Each structure stands twice: as C-alpha cells, then as structure tokens.
Amino acid sequence: MKLVADAAENTIELARQENVTRILDAGERLFRHYGYSKTTVADIARDLGMSPANVYRFFASKVEIHQAICGRMLAASYQMAYDACHLQISASDRLRRFVQGQYQMTVDTMLDQEKVHEMVVVAIERDWHVIEKHVDSIHELLADVIREGIAAGEFAEQDADVASRCFGAATVTLCHPQMVAQCLAKTNRATVDELVEFSIRALKK
C-alpha cells in the first residue's frame, strides 16, 4: 500500500512541476513580448488554455510568477558560472570563461531589450534580496578561483574575497542587460576582451 501511495504522490508532484514549468514558460514569454506591467495572470492563463483560477492554484500572484522566473534565470546564470569556475584550466582562463559566458547569456536573453529591461528593473525593486544572494554566491565562486590562482603563483598575494568583489565590480557592465544594451553599439567603450584582460592583469600585480 505504501508503494502505491508513494507512486501516486510522485505522479501528483510530477504533474504539479509540469504545470509550474508551463506557467513560468508562458509568463516569461509574455513578459518578454508585452512587458511585465502589461501582462496579467489572465493573459498567462489564456495563453495556456486554462482558467486564471487554475494558475492561482500554483502562484498567488503575478509577482510570485515573476519571482520564480527571476529565480530560474539566476539559477541558470549560477550554473554557468559554477561550470566555468570548475574547468580544469588556469585560473585566468576560468575567469575569462566566466565573464564571456555571463556576457553571452546576457546578450542571448535580450530578445526584446525594453521588455527585458522592465523585468530587470522590477526584479531589482522587488526582489533585491534574491539578487544580493546571487551576487554573494558568484563572489564566492570567483574568490575560490582567485585563491587557487594565488596558490599557483598566477596571481599576486592578496585578499581573495576583496579581489573577487573588485573583479565582479569591474566586469558587472557585461552582465547587466541595461548596461550591455547601452554599450553594445558604442565604439568608445571597452570591449569584452579588453575589460576582461584589464581585470585579470590587476590580479597579477
């Protein structure tokens, strides 16, 4: 009986997760197309062919849907950063892969710049604690890479935690949709490679 009950519970949970994913996919698609402020829960429900009441079974509000979408995007960003920082290559090359990967992800997600920017602004205004936690996690990854680079004689002796925060601050313009959009077509701004190499050289002095 317990096995049957467990199987039934797993089936219910899988169905729930599938519905959650469908709602988040639809929400993200509509937020990108119409903008966060112009999209309603009713719009998301209509896109999925379900009633708003059914959407509310999984999310209490549009804000919760947006928070979950942001959390999913940050999780993908962290995974990419984690993978880059754990490659079996030099510390400098891992930092290069990290920045280049984050930059490319930012460019790839800017399908409609203004709509994506609105999502970012809303996230900063309402979910800043989530973003702060993400930033702290990224700094921890970078600090570990820098610490290993110091141990290997690749970087100068320094406080790895401070260095990671400085490296993050020096390259943050490459990971922020609004900043990337503003600088993408400008010829009087540092290129991705120039900024990365400048930041890595600072770690070696």
Residue 112 phi/psi, 5-degree rounding, is -135, 100
pLDDT band at 19 (very low <50, low <70, confident <90, very high): very high
Question: End of a domain among 22, 38, 59?
Answer: 59
Higher pLDDT, 107 or 54: 54
pLDDT band at 173 (very low <50, low <70, confident <90, very high): confident
CATH number for the domain spanning 177: value is 1.10.357.10
The range of the structural domain enclosing residue 18 comes to 1-59
pLDDT band at 136 (very low <50, low <70, confident <90, very high): very high
Count of structural domains, the chain: 2
Q: Are residues 91 and 187 in the same domain?
A: yes
Higher pLDDT, 67 or 159: 159
Q: Are residues 64 and 118 in the same domain?
A: yes
Residues 69-73: contacts with CB under 8 Å, at least 24 apart: 69/24, 69/27, 69/28, 69/31, 69/119, 70/119, 70/123, 70/127, 70/130, 70/131, 71/130, 72/24, 73/109
Q: Are residues 114 and 176 in the same domain?
A: yes
Residue 91 CA to chain centroid, in angstroms? Answer: 22
